[in-house]
């Protein structure tokens, strides 16, 4: 490939396939980037290459990432590679970019310029408030069910008028959806799904606006394309049109967010819709040893709906993958902790080791073992900074001051800290607002004007907000937060709590967050800086939360581990029913999604990988008796070092729903190894029925799980 000499700085230390992707001429492309294949480097280098070669300017491209952290990293890398200022570049998440577009065109979507973004909890509060006003029974229609319905329909691109209810229950839910839309319009607020749906409709319904952005963004780059939803893909198609070029980077083998609406089929659709001439595969891995990669390849090749690739590395085979089968979940946990202590003594930091599990419920026993061994640990994905109660309370004061129609903010703080405003007073306030078709704030002002001499309750709250508004006038966001935290009574309130010091420290950290925001963000309109900060707190996914900093063992679900890497990884609970999860077996393509999840887990490991399971496990108060995950059977034997083998369980009492008394009359118990003349070898996993009509459940090595009539099964115990 002939590349001008001055461009080679973007191609240093890159492999041929990476160079091929970066230097593509004007055409749409699908880059199938395997785990650890350097996709971020390819994306940023592609942006730099396009700008440096004057194929487009910084404002002529748009890049979509899935986290704010990734967007910041991308801009930082581009700045390092090119002597340009990144101001004006459209790089961000789907929601962040849509928020930006809607603010520019707020009139077209009937929203105020300063519209507020509802996070999940604020949205739920708004739904509860609406349902109360509509006299909807929350037992019959749980608010979370309503929230799930609304968000689901918006993700599908459906307004309430386009939904076709299939029964009276759904019809009523959809009516609530319709009233919810009206409420959001009245209050000038938008939830997260609205950002994308509203932006999609903006482009769909306004040809001039659509053509403007199509002419501006000739090159559109998308990271983690396998995680895009159906609506996100529709938005992309509108934005790109027929003449622009889409550079999509993704890995269909790492598509694990179907429950969030991710649609792996978008990759095939992209290939067809944008006439992709060839798919560039980035298969060279820079993270893991070959034994780990070969195991991952062997697992994922059992999926039928994939584009296909095969990871490899130049770093050698590495250690064999260790497999351990515990008699119980406690035995499994103790083995893991013994290995961790041994590895730590040998020089591996705790923070370089991760314990992965399919379900959060599995962590209890692991944590217990960790604590008993006095090992520092951190559960990854805990409560995020901006989701903490004290932070949300402080921000609610700011939100109300910024937007007096924000009823959610008012309801959150009207009696916090306590100022003698009870449920009855709030009901009267809501009734007054409903009667006069006004905001709760306007209703509160009316009550205050009629009770000027009263120094408590609603009148006091109104005067407090007015005084805070006057006090922060002309001050910075950081100074505003300090004033609000002090004069609202929040600081004094939390100092009285048993964990008050920590909460006040978090409030102090909010001031620091505001300072950092101002110092690192280009504020185009100073008058809107407070609004932009508030929206930042809603859009920010917690990436600014400071890590513990200590050398601590990492615990997390497999879903949470995506995008991370560790020297040593323990994948725990590898049992059928847990991984793959039992629910997946009844879902369309569920098993393939679970296999992709296993693939993600395996490829988190750089040097050492442990696969562990337990023959019996306590979950949700019940003991379950397990067989090894089918995914273990998919790993070639020569890659594994089996530290032990299945031991025969001496089970007296069987799990619930199993015919324990009937089973006890037979020498073949749960956990017994058996052979069948047709199906071969297997392990007994359950019983059903009574002595006269007893059925036995067996997991066969090659034939899967089968139920057989005990009388005719012709089983031989091994």
Q: Residues 532, 521: contact at Cβ < 8 Å?
A: yes
d(CA 404, CA 112): 12
Q: Which strand (E) or helix (H) includes residue 697?
A: strand 695-700
Identify the burial level of 705 via C-beta atoms within 10 angstroms of its C-beta, where 0-12 means exposed, 13-18 middle and 19 or more buried: middle
Cis amide linkage into residue 417, ω under 30° from 0? yes
Judged against a pLDDT cut of 60, whether residue 544 lies above it is answered with no
Task: Give the confidence band of 172 by pLDDT, cuts at 50, 70, 90.
Answer: very high
Predicted local distance difference test score (pLDDT) of residue 359: 79
Q: Which tokens is 6 given?
A: 């001055």
Predicted local distance difference test score (pLDDT) of residue 455: 57
d(CA 700, CA 453): 81
Beta bridge partners, 617, equal 624
Residue 647: C-alpha distances to residues 42, 652, 704 (Å): 49, 16, 20
Which residue among 44, 65, 214, 254 is the active-site one? 254
Sign of CA dihedral 571, 577, 582, 584: positive
| Cβ within 8 Å of residue 139, ≥6 positions away | none
Kindly report, residue by residue over 5-45, the tens digit of the pLDDT. 444 576 788 899 999 999 988 889 999 988 888 888 899 89
Q: What is the mean pLDDT of residues 107-123?
A: 90
Q: Residues 363, 555: contact at Cβ < 8 Å?
A: yes
Q: Which strand (E) or helix (H) includes residue 235?
A: helix 230-240
Question: Model pTM?
Answer: 0.70
Q: Which residue has the higher pLDDT, 593 or 499?
A: 593
d(CA 157, CA 656): 43
Of 631, 596, 579, nearest to 255 by C-alpha is 596
Q: Which residue has the higher pLDDT, 714 or 452?
A: 714
Q: Which strand (E) or helix (H) includes residue 47?
A: helix 39-52
Predicted local distance difference test score (pLDDT) of residue 498: 54
Q: Residues 491, 474: contact at Cβ < 8 Å?
A: no
User: How much of the chain, in percent, has pLDDT values that exceed 90?
Assistant: 39
Q: Which tokens is 636 given?
A: 């070639």
Side-chain half-sphere exposure of 96, counting CA atoms within 13 A? 23
Taking the CA atoms of residue 404, residue 407, residue 410 and residue 415 in that order, the dihedral angle to the nearest 10 degrees is 150
Is 717 among the residues known to form the active site?
no
Q: Which tokens is 201 given?
A: 């409709």
Q: What is the mean pLDDT of residues 340-368?
A: 88
Which residue among 17, 39, 218, 445 is the active-site one? 39
Is 254 among the residues known to form the active site?
yes
Is 155 among the residues known to form the active site?
no
d(CA 394, CA 377): 30
Helix residue ranges per DSSP H, 603-659: 630-633
Judged against a pLDDT cut of 90, whether residue 320 lies above it is answered with yes
Kindly report, residue by residue over 555-609, the tens digit of the pLDDT. 888 988 988 999 999 999 999 888 888 777 767 678 898 999 999 999 999 999 9
Is 301 among the residues known to form the active site?
no
Average pLDDT, the chain: 84
Of 484, 509, 473, nearest to 417 by C-alpha is 484
For residue 527, which phi and psi values (nearest 5 degrees)? -65, -25
Give the pairing type, strands 716-717 and 673-676.
antiparallel
With b for 16 or more beta-carbon neighbours within 10 A and e for fewer, the 122-149 pattern comes to: bbbbbbbbbbeeeebeeeebebeebbeb
d(CA 112, CA 224): 32
Q: Which tokens is 515 given?
A: 């300072």
Judged against a pLDDT cut of 70, whether residue 112 lies above it is answered with yes
d(CA 558, CA 631): 15
- Return contacts of 527-531, CB within 8 angstroms, 24+ apart: 528/113, 528/114, 529/477, 530/398, 530/402, 530/477, 530/480, 531/114, 531/116, 531/402, 531/403
Judged against a pLDDT cut of 70, whether residue 709 lies above it is answered with yes
Predicted local distance difference test score (pLDDT) of residue 385: 62
The number of angstroms, rounded, from the C-alpha of 467 to the middle of its chain's C-alpha atoms is: 40
Q: What is the mean pLDDT of residues 488-509?
A: 76
Q: Which tokens is 461 given?
A: 């709250």
Kindly report, residue by residue over 143-159, the tens digit of the pLDDT. 888 998 999 999 989 99
Q: Which of 383-397, 636-650, 659-673 has the lowest mean pLDDT?
A: 659-673
Q: What is the DSSP letter of 699?
A: E
Which residue among 17, 122, 224, 332 is the active-site one? 224
For residue 117, which phi and psi values (nearest 5 degrees)? -100, 125
Helix residue ranges per DSSP H, 156-220: 168-187, 192-205, 207-216
Side-chain half-sphere exposure of 696, counting CA atoms within 13 A? 27
DSSP3 helix / strand / coil % (the chain, rounded to 5):
50, 15, 35
Q: Which residue has the higher pLDDT, 652 or 470?
A: 470
Place of tokens 């006091």: 460
Which residue among 358, 404, 595, 604 is the active-site one? 604
Predicted local distance difference test score (pLDDT) of residue 192: 92
Is 224 among the residues known to form the active site?
yes
Judged against a pLDDT cut of 80, whether residue 477 lies above it is answered with yes
Give the pairing type, strands 695-700 and 704-709.
antiparallel
Predicted local distance difference test score (pLDDT) of residue 524: 59
Predicted local distance difference test score (pLDDT) of residue 142: 84
DSSP 239-302: HHTTTSEEEEEE-GGG---GGGTB-TTHHHHHHHHTT---EEEE-B-SSS-HHHHHHHHHHHTT
DSSP 73-90: HHHHHHHHHSS---TT-E
Q: Which tokens is 415 given?
A: 């009696």
Q: Which strand (E) or helix (H) includes residue 116?
A: strand 116-118
Kindly report, residue by residue over 355-376, the tens digit of the pLDDT. 999 877 677 778 778 877 888 8
d(CA 23, CA 25): 6
d(CA 615, CA 575): 8
Q: What is the mean pLDDT of residues 624-629?
A: 84
Judged against a pLDDT cut of 80, whether residue 699 lies above it is answered with no
Is 604 among the residues known to form the active site?
yes
User: How much of the chain, in percent, has pLDDT values that exceed 70?
Assistant: 87
d(CA 89, CA 96): 13
Task: Give the confidence band of 235 by pLDDT, cuts at 50, 70, 90.
Answer: very high
Q: What is the DSSP letter of 656?
A: T
Kindly report, residue by residue over 192-219, the tens digit of the pLDDT. 999 999 999 999 999 999 999 999 999 9
Predicted local distance difference test score (pLDDT) of residue 649: 47
Which residue among 20, 40, 73, 469 is the active-site one? 40
Predicted local distance difference test score (pLDDT) of residue 236: 93
Judged against a pLDDT cut of 50, whether residue 105 lies above it is answered with yes
Helix residue ranges per DSSP H, 473-602: 477-487, 490-495, 500-520, 529-539, 558-561, 590-602
d(CA 447, CA 426): 12
Which residue among 187, 223, 593, 663 is the active-site one? 223
Judged against a pLDDT cut of 50, whether residue 667 lies above it is answered with yes
Helix axes 207-216, 230-240, angle to 10 degrees: 80
């Amino acid at each position: 490939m002939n590349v001008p000499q001055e461009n080679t700085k973007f191609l240093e230390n890159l492999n041929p396939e990476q160079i091929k992707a970066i230097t593509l001429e004007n055409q749409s492309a699908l880059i199938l980037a395997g785990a650890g294949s350097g996709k971020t480097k390819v994306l940023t280098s592609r942006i730099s290459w396009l700008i440096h070669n004057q194929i487009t300017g910084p404002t002529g491209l748009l890049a979509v990432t899935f986290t704010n952290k990734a967007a910041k990293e991308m801009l930082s890398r581009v700045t390092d590679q090119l002597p340009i200022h990144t101001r004006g570049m459209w790089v961000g998440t789907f929601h962040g970019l849509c928020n930006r577009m809607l603010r520019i065109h707020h009139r077209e979507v009937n929203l105020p310029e300063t519209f507020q973004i509802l996070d999940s909890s604020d949205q739920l509060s708004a739904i509860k408030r609406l349902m109360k006003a509509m006299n909807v029974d929350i037992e019959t229609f749980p608010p979370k069910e309503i929230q799930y319905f609304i968000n689901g329909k918006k993700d599908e691109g459906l307004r309430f008028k386009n939904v076709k209810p299939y029964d009276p229950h759904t019809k009523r839910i959809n009516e609530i959806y319709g009233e919810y839309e009206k409420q959001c319009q009245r209050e000038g607020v938008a939830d997260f799904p609205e950002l994308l749906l509203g932006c999609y409709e903006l482009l769909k319904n306004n040809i001039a606006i659509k053509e403007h952005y199509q002419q501006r963004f000739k090159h559109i780059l998308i990271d983690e394309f396998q995680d895009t939803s159906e609506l996100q893909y529709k938005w992309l198609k509108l934005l790109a049109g027929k003449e622009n070029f889409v550079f999509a980077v993704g890995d269909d083998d790492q598509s694990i967010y179907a429950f969030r609406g991710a649609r792996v089929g978008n990759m095939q659709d992209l290939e067809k819709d944008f006439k992709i001439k060839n798919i560039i595969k980035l298969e060279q891995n820079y993270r893991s040893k070959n034994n780990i990669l070969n195991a991952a390849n062997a697992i994922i090749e059992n999926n039928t709906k994939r584009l296909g690739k095969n990871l490899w590395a130049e770093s050698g085979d590495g250690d064999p993958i260790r497999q351990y089968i515990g008699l119980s979940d406690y035995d499994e946990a103790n083995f893991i902790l013994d290995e961790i202590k041994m590895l730590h003594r040998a020089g591996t930091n705790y923070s370089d080791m991760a314990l992965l599990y399919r379900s959060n419920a599995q962590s209890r026993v692991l944590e217990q073992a960790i604590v008993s061994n006095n090992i520092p640990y951190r559960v990854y994905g805990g409560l995020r900074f901006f989701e903490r109660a004290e932070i949300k309370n402080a921000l609610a004061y700011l939100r109300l001051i910024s937007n007096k129609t924000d009823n959610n903010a008012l309801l959150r703080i009207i009696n916090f800290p306590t100022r003698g405003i009870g449920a009855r007073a709030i009901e009267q306030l809501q009734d007054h607002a409903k009667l006069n078709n006004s905001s709760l704030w306007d209703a509160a002002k009316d009550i205050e004007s009629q009770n000027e001499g009263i120094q408590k309750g609603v009148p006091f709250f109104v005067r407090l907000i007015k005084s805070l508004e006057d006090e922060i006038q002309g001050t910075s966001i950081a100074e505003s937060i300090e004033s609000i935290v002090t004069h609202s009574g929040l600081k004094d309130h939390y100092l009285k709590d048993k964990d008050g010091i920590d909460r006040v420290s978090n409030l102090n950290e909010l001031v620091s967050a505001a300072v950092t925001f101002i110092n690192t963000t280009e504020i185009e309109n100073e008058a809107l800086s407070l609004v932009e900060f508030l929206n930042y707190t809603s859009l920010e996914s917690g990436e600014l939360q400071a890590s513990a900093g200590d050398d601590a063992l990492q615990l997390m679900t497999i879903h949470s581990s995506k995008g991370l890497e560790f020297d040593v990884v323990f994948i725990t609970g590898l049992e059928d029913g847990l991984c793959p999860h039992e629910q997946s077996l009844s879902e369309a393509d569920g098993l393939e999604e679970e296999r992709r999840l296993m693939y993600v887990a395996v490829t988190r490991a750089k040097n050492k990988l442990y696969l562990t399971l337990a023959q019996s496990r306590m979950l949700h108060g019940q003991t379950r008796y397990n067989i090894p995950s089918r995914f273990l059977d998919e790993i070639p034997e020569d890659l594994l070092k089996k530290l032990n083998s299945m031991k025969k369980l001496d089970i007296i009492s069987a799990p619930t729903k199993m015919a324990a008394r009937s089973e006890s009359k037979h020498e073949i118990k749960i956990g017994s190894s058996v052979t069948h003349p047709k199906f071969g070898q297997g392990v007994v996993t359950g019983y059903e029925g009574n002595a006269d009509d007893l059925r036995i459940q067996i997991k066969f090595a090659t034939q899967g799980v089968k139920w057989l009539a005990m009388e005719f099964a012709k089983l031989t115990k091994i």
